[in-house]
Amino acid sequence: MKKLSHYDAAGAARMVDVSGKAATRRTARAHAFVHIPAAVLRKLPRNPKGNPLEIARIAGIAAAKRTAELIPLCHTLPLSHADVDVRMEKGGVRIEASAATSGPTGVEMEALTAATVAALTVYDMTKALDKSIEIGEIYLLEKTGGKSGVFHRQPEGRRKSKT
């Protein structure tokens, strides 16, 4: 089993020192799904709070830029790109977030944070219509760059890594 790098020899949590790692282009894409009843989905275009999909998109981008403030051991990264795609489909709202940097560590947490905050924003914008809306299926779709190479999530949760 691989050793977790966020712990020192005594088992205390620590921020990983990435100062010796080469800066390379790194990207990540993450996914979230907000399960929303059909009756609520039909009302989204007329939401009195504004367009929940566009507000969720902007919230996700803002969250990606602030990941290090939310996750205690994450490094502050200069993002060269962050975007969130939010679309309605049968059963709810699908969210895909992406992030990129040229740096010594990856952007998986930034993409995951963007997808999660976008999903939370959809909930916030629609909770007055139905508080039973569920957020789920938050996961990494892919990542590139760095020592661990490329990761692509396989359908039905099968994972595959390539180095």
User: Is 8 assigned a catalytic role?
Assistant: no
Cite the beta strand spans of the chain per DSSP E.
Answer: 24-35, 79-89, 92-103, 134-144, 150-153, 159-162
Q: Which of 16, 12, 9, 13 is nearest to 103 (CA)?
A: 16
CA distance 1 to 35: 35
CA distance 96 to 104: 24
* Token pair recorded at residue 93: 């709202």
Active-site residue, selected from the candidate residues 17, 83, 124, 130: 124
| Phi, psi dihedral angles at 101 (to 5 degrees) | -155, 165
Known catalytic residues are: 124
